[in-house]
Structure 1
Amino acid sequence: MGKTIDVRTVNVVQYIKPLREGGSMPAIVNADDDFLYVLKFRGAGQGKKALISELMGGELARTLGLKVPELVFMNLDDSFSKTEPDEEIQDLLKFSVGLNLGLHFLSGAITFDPLVNTVDAATASKIVLLDSLVSNIDRTVKNTNLLSWNNELWVIDNGASFYFHHNWALYKNHLTRTFPLIKDHVLLPWATQLETAAIEIKEAFTQERLEEIIALIPEDWLLDEAEAMHPEAMRQAYMEYFQAKLAMIDKLVKEAEDAR
């Protein structure tokens, strides 16, 4: 857990196919390290902010010892949009030139199904409480964003977290809020060890580790012409958010327990 985080950077060498079940239309691509990745595009609907959420959410989950596919930064050049016949995908590729985010493709993985799969209480509790902490609105029965691979549960798709950063002017309003939407979490029925999970989260999410995760965010992803806030101020705001949520973790535990 104390290991430093190293996110590699690779180059996209082949666009293989779009994953149309995802709202933002990610794609399976091949990189210059000969591995397949699910590429999340900076030019998609939620833009670079979804990539920031994906990056931070994924590395927080990994810090907790949860299974997360390797995350990599992916360079996409402008050659792909020129040869793409589908106009929608062509636009997505054109607006995504530059640095994007990829998740290692887990070949043969199946979507976690709460009617078929089970999960141990410790893992479920950690995922539920982490999602409450980062305000992840998208891990429901309808869309679990969890994979079963080699009989293990893997956490994917954290892009719908930290929704406060879609309106920086009001981010302070979120610092004292709990997360009532936790009632819809797909793993809530199994999350019977929330208090233990809270202790583990407080131990794992040290100031140093949180700073390291926030420092991973590429400067380019924080730059926004429509935004008055400076990237450095945004990084400080993410830290402020984490500290506020950790300070109220007992409230989040109670909220989740009441919902269960």
Structure 2
Amino acid sequence: MIRPLTVVEIQGRSEQGMTRPFHCRCDDGNLYFVKGRAASQRSLICEWLGGNLAKAFGLPIPEFTIAQAAPELLELHPEGRDLGSMPLFASRKVEHVQEFSISHLHQVDDCLQRDVLAFDWWINNGDRTLTAYSGNPNLLWSTEARKLVVIDQNLAFDPDFDPATFSVTHVFAGQIDLLNQDLIEPQRLRELCGRALAVWADACKNVPQEWQFVDEEQTVPTNFDPDAVLALLNRYSHEDFWRMTPWLRA
């Protein structure tokens, strides 16, 4: 198991996002967005495993780790109970970023757009939406480096994933037609998936024991089946999988 960082300062809490992550400084001196008790255990597992896959896949995601906060520190913050003393998911804060918008689309390389699109398709992540009218892409734009930053895999491996909705609402859905027609890209994507899956076993071993149960007594398992998720991920090797046509996902 990896050694968790220690939260040494709770600076506040985000007003955005379903789980409203906490802004914390850890004992390595860095600032992090930290999720804990307010996020479900399944959400934390998905965030951790999805993050490990995304990093190995080659997506530009912030550094992340597991952290822990002492009870006495939590008592000093009015919402500390929502963070909790169990292991926490901590994503390092990236400076000089803003929320991704339609205006940034043309600045993202087409290949990277396809990689993000394909990755979300692979892990059943329908939570990266953006249309001309609304959306929540869970992406940031670095104004300093003029680069994309990919965040939030907490809704990955969704058993209710809807391919039809995905193909319309994904922020990079404009790449679907090209991907469906290309003969080379599917092979490249299969290679990326194979490389990413090489970290799966170690990532699973580092899932904190506390996340695997919904109660403190650890008597009720979290609704997350790693074997079923691995079977889902292994579909990447099927040739038809990369034809992003909804009826081919049945």
With normalisation by structure 1, the TM-score equals: 0.78
What is the count of residue pairs matched by the alignment? 230
| Among candidates 42, 48, 57, match of residue 50 of structure 2 | 57
Identify the residue that residue 36 of structure 1 maps to in structure 2.
31
Q: What are the superposed Cα offsets for residues 64-103 of structure 1, whole Å, 9 maximum, x if unpaired?
A: 2111101110112212331123xxx24303xx21211111
Q: Output the CA distance in 2 between the equivalents of 1:28 and 1:104.
A: 10
In the TM superposition, what whole-angstrom CA distance separates every residue of 1:135-158 from its partner, at most 9, and x where no partner exists? 112111111111111111111011
- In structure 2, stretches of 5+ residues that fail to align are none
Aligned-pair RMSD on alpha carbons?
A: 2.7
Question: Of the candidates 211, 236, 242, which is equivalent to residue 246 of structure 1?
Answer: 236
Identity value in percent: 21
Distance 1:7 1:59, change over 3 A: farther
Alignment of 1:108-123 (within 5 A): 108-118=96-106, 119-123=108-112
Given the superposition, is the C-alpha separation of residues 51 and 200 from structure 1 closer, same or farther in structure 2, using an over 3 Å criterion? farther
Q: Distance in 1 between matches of 2:2 and 2:97?
A: 23
For 1:188, the equivalent position in structure 2 comes to 173
For the 8 Å contact 2:190–2:237, the answer to whether it is kept is no
Displacement, 1:111? 1.2
Change over 3 Å in CA distance of 1:197–1:59 after alignment to 2: farther
1:129 matches 2:133: no
Residues 13-34 of structure 1 show CA distances to partners (whole Å, capped at 9, x for unaligned) of 0001111111111011000000
Report if aligned partners of 1:18, 1:25 keep a CA contact under 8 Å in 2.
yes
Q: Cα gap change, 1:91/1:23 in structure 2, threshold over 3 Å: closer, same or farther? A: same
Show the 5 A alignment for 1:194-233: 195=182, 196-206=184-194, 208-224=198-214, 225-227=219-221
Distance in 2 between residues matched to 1:107 and 1:222, nearest whole Å? 32
For residues 205 and 23 of structure 1, the distance between their equivalents in structure 2, rounded to whole angstroms, comes to 29
Q: CA deviation at 1:248?
A: 4.3
Q: Secondary structure at the match of 1:220?
A: helix
In the aligned structure 2, how far is the partner of 1:154 from the partner of 1:210?
22
Q: For 2:74 and 2:199, locate their aligned partners in 1 and report how far apart those are by CA, in whole Å.
A: 38
Residue identity opposite 1:68 in structure 2: I
> In the TM superposition, what whole-angstrom CA distance separates every residue of 1:205-239 from its partner, at most 9, and x where no partner exists?
3353333333332233223433398x8xx332332
2:73 aligned partner? 80
Query: Are 1:91 and 2:81 matched, yes or no?
Result: yes
Alpha carbons 2:140, 2:148 under 8 Å: kept: yes
The offset of 1:162, in angstroms, is 1.4
1:167 maps to what in 2?
none
Whether 1:140 and 2:129 are equivalent positions in the alignment is yes
SS at match of 1:163: coil
Task: State the TM-score, normalized to the length of structure 2.
Answer: 0.81
